Amino acid sequence: MNDAPPDHALRGNVFSEHCPSREVLKHVTSRWGVLLLVALGDGGQRFGELRRRVGGISEKMLAQTLVWLEQDGFVQRIVQSAAPPRVEYRLTPLGEEISAKMGELAGWIENNLGAMLAAQHHTARAAQPT
């Protein structure tokens, strides 16, 4: 009999350097992880659609980030029988939950961009020698 607790009973500690939650945190909070989770919040999309939607992402980083998000249980890769095969990426229920949170974060950043740019400008001016 397996004595390991069920997956839903496990709890991570992101402040512990040895906890696997750190790796998941890295995937989710990377620039590409956030953007892909937010983009997929609008529904399933193909690779090319995601690449066009997320400006500046290379094919290599798109593929790698999708693999990470799939391994972490946030994204489902769906292969549809066709000639050529059609592959679509969709959020899992867990992915939908984190996508909503990342969408809130992205929206907050967009809404407060002016204040952040002003702070950066102020900090840069203060650092200049007089």
Which tens digits make up the pLDDT trace of 108-122?
Answer: 999 999 999 999 999
Indicate the CATH number of 16-127 among 3.40.30.10, 3.40.50.450, 3.90.1640.20, 1.10.10.10: 1.10.10.10
Contact 89, 53 (CB under 8 A): no
Measured CA to CA, the distance from residue 62 to residue 77 in angstroms comes to: 13
Count CB neighbours of 33 within 10 A.
Answer: 22
Sequence-ordered strand ranges (E) for the chain:
75-80, 86-91
- Tokens, residue 75: 């994204």
Q: Which pLDDT score, from 0 to 100, does residue 111 have?
A: 97
Domains in the chain: boundaries: 16-127
Quick one: which H or E segment has residue 6? none
Of 34-48, 79-93, 97-111, which range is least confident? 79-93
Measured CA to CA, the distance from residue 119 to residue 22 in angstroms comes to: 30
pLDDT tier for residue 1 given thresholds of 50, 70 and 90: very low
Which tens digits make up the pLDDT trace of 5-61?
Answer: 556 667 899 999 999 999 999 999 999 999 999 999 999 999 999 999 999 999 999
In order of 34, 52, 80, the CA distances from 46 in angstroms are 17, 10, 11
**Side-chain half-sphere of 83: how many Cα atoms within 13 Å?**
0
3-state secondary structure of 43: coil
Of 4 and 81, more confident:
81
Which tens digits make up the pLDDT trace of 41-50?
Answer: 999 999 999 9
